Chain A
């Protein structure tokens, strides 16, 4: 090995702690990049493979009841490749030992032998046997939550009639990768599942012989989906079609899209922060190293080493650090990736998970990390290689420090003198001080930018479920009923208050922008399910016009007073222009509301409702649930309180996992930055400190020089970090906001405090580590060496 390379390795070994600190920051950058891109690729490849294998449809449409002949008509449409008609319904199930009602999505299985879209994936057991109508497959997660296996019986309220069905196996489906019960906020396999039954059984129960209620459509390659949807809508309108929709409005697909979007956002925010900080660290460390090695550089030049060789020597030094960082990053990235995959397995029901090990991801991560390292090194390396040999041989002139305060203050106390030394030192290296402050600030920012989510979710819950949707439960009827159903509901046991609602599928349009929404009609004097204005005060629905959620308003660019086009998909199926009379706050989905009476009027129907919101006397809830199972009133029941609880638990779990990751990442940055700054400072001021020790100053006094410098840096970094963290929060909110949900940017004081504490702790640890070095400072050796 060449002697110069040997020097490089020995330098690295001597500076291992600093090098490792830098390598760790780089590793964090590489790991988050691998995790972000890798998880994104894994998820999208898995989804694509699953869709392909199980023939996930492109378009979907619901109808009340359409005869099967229509299918042939639609299959013949231009651009349509394949059509699968199905019966899709929701039903309550009776589970032994469960007080709260659970519901299932019923999906018909065509008579065997027929290829279908949205093919189920058999997890265990078998499909129902031909001719056995009362057999079914159940979704795997639901089966697991209730310990159901093939051979067990499940009691389902088929159109209000209790029916015992034999389970023949468990299954998954590409349309239920993310299975969300109606009105739920998180998947809850204990309370919601899917039951696939022979078509004949469902047709008989729901009076759909020779008919269907749902259509899955596969498009030909290159077909214009909008054209096909319009054509389908025209044909299904008279059968109660509520408008066909694409994958983007299919719940499971949309949630996966949202997740993919978040991963993209993550891989755009986090890795750049780490790589920026590592470039800073490389720069300050290398600048110092080169200052210390001026004479050696001069010597190397004197004996005939050229600019290029000197430059390569220091680039090599940085490259080795970067390689260590990349290696650690690879391992950490793969490990975190596996953790992420496990998290996915919990929320998403995939039959398999293609964990992307695409070498190009690793190559990108390595390349980007190396580039950041070399970019950080560049200035120092150019400096080193262009040092004139003769100049390099003579030691650098002592840095000329600036006099502060004109020297007019009489500093006769050590503490004053030391603060002068500290501030002069900080001011003498403005770039390094600035990098140190910014680096530490970024550690604070990562924490502020991630830890606020917990508080924000609590805020979301508070607004959505304490102030707006205050009902304990929503009973959704199987079909629209006259207003008298409200009085039936009021007489159910345990119901303290009942308020009606009507939901209607509709399209809202303004100019070119259009969204499918469910218009909710409510009486104006509701107490339970209230609309809130943008200031979160209850908003009384005006007798005329439409109130839309702020998210929808944002999408449509609609303001109060604008006339929007409303295409009702039920009743008279009219298209009319209606003014926006209010904008409501909402974090979940796209909402639109109007006065119940005026909605019914628009539909051209008498006073009818699709469900009731109820307040329940907790002590009588089991009696209520029992009664609901007996009466064929509701097809499913949303339990808001339980849904919130589930949401909170799951969110808390996720946040705990993510916070641990973010806290570790931030601690790595904070430690790396502070430790490197401290070591560099110590190397510059070692002599000064040793001299002070010789003069009789105590260890504590001497190390306070350094500790004070670090403290000033960290204290200045905190407010900057808070500001950057807020900006990251803002980016995250805008990067993560989807039409499914959005998170309000509320960052509590506790978040700032907590972030500051974590960083202060990491900084203190590195200060303590360096302090031990000061305590062991060999006075004689330091003074003897020539700087």
Chain B
């Protein structure tokens, strides 16, 4: 990656300015993001809320280096994500970003441990795969295949996989979307623990308003824009929430 001139204060992990995204399929144009401005500080835990189709996933994908913007700028520390080439994006994802998705996205033919190893194989200074699984409380289920794990367990494997590389940022798209309240809480506990222990800036998309209470900050998306932001003066412990 090209070292780029510092343009943002170092405490800002993400700095986004006028980010827009237009999807074109055939003759139909969808404005998924309209000039979004956003920043996040190191170690911050941000919850993103908003109606379906409001552009949350699009936003997360772009700042995670999975998708490209149509216009605007996005910075990760001193790297301008929006200017990175395909290889640059791959390296960005490989070294700095941990992803967690709604549908776990584990490789079915690999065991829990091996799914985590997928990341430790290529990361620069990863923790041990087993260690990451221990962190999410799955030490005993290491050798199980995804099909042999419950949804919550699978999602915790996905978290272990995301954190094993000690990422600077953890991007979660509806991580509890497919889970019931109890398992969802377990997963959130794991996320918070990781956020606290490795200090990763964490962005969590959710439809679940109850979750917003555990965040440092809540960002509301609507129609491709950030419509409202609020800072929680006091974060509730995970165990106190349910849905």
A residues touching B (Cβ–Cβ < 8 Å)? 2-4, 6-7, 10-11, 14, 295-296, 298-307, 309, 388-390, 393, 786
Contacts and interface: CB of A to CB of B under 8 A. Distances in A.
B224 interface: no
B94 interface: yes
B93 A301 contact: yes
B130 to A, nearest CB: 13
21 contacts: A2-B121, A3-B110, A298-B105, A299-B107, A300-B118, A302-B64, A302-B105, A303-B93, A303-B118, A303-B119, A303-B162, A303-B165, A304-B91, A304-B95, A305-B90, A305-B122, A388-B66, A389-B93, A390-B66, A390-B67, A393-B101
Contacts of B98: 303
Contacts of A296: 105, 107
B105 A304 contact: no
Contacts of B114: 3, 6-7
Nearest to B58: A390
A304 B93 contact: yes
A499 B162 CA distance: 98
A389 B61 CA distance: 9
Interface in B62-121: 64, 66-67, 86-87, 90-91, 93-95, 97-99, 101, 103, 105, 107, 109-110, 114-115, 117-119, 121
A393 B117 contact: no
Nearest to A786: B103
B103 A301 contact: no
Contact of B61 (A4, A7, A309, A390): A390
Contacts of A4: 118, 121
B238 interface: no
B122 A389 contact: no
Contacts of A300: 118
Contact count band on B? 20 to 34
A307 B86 CA distance: 9
Contacts of B101: 299, 302, 393
A2 B40 CA distance: 35
Most buried by B among A3, A303, A309, A786: A303
B156 interface: no
A393 B105 contact: yes
A4 B107 CA distance: 10
Nearest to A14: B109
B144 to A, nearest CB: 14
B15 interface: no
Contacts, number: 80
A295 B108 CA distance: 11
B123 interface: yes
Contact of B87 (A306, A388, A390): A306
Given A10-B109, A304-B94, 10 more contacts: A2-B121, A3-B118, A11-B109, A295-B105, A296-B105, A299-B107, A300-B118, A307-B90, A390-B61, A393-B66
A7 B115 CA distance: 9
Contact of B67 (A6, A295, A303, A388): A388
Contacts of B90: 301, 304-307
A513 B192 CA distance: 93
Nearest to A307: B86
Given A295-B105, A390-B67, A304 B123 contact: yes
Contacts of B97: 304
Contacts of A14: 109
A390 B165 CA distance: 21
Interface in B32-61: 61
B217 interface: no
Nearest to A302: B99
A4 B120 CA distance: 11
Most buried by A among B64, B110, B123: B110
A299 B110 CA distance: 13
B107 A303 contact: no
B105 A299 contact: yes
Contacts of B162: 303
B119 A304 contact: yes
Contacts of A7: 107, 109-110, 114
Interface in B112-143: 114-115, 117-119, 121-123
A389 B99 CA distance: 12
Contacts of B161: 303
A393 B94 CA distance: 17
Closest 7 CB pairs of A and B: A304-B94, A3-B117, A10-B109, A390-B67, A306-B90, A3-B114, A390-B66
A211 B69 CA distance: 100
Nearest to A295: B105
A289 to B, nearest CB: 12
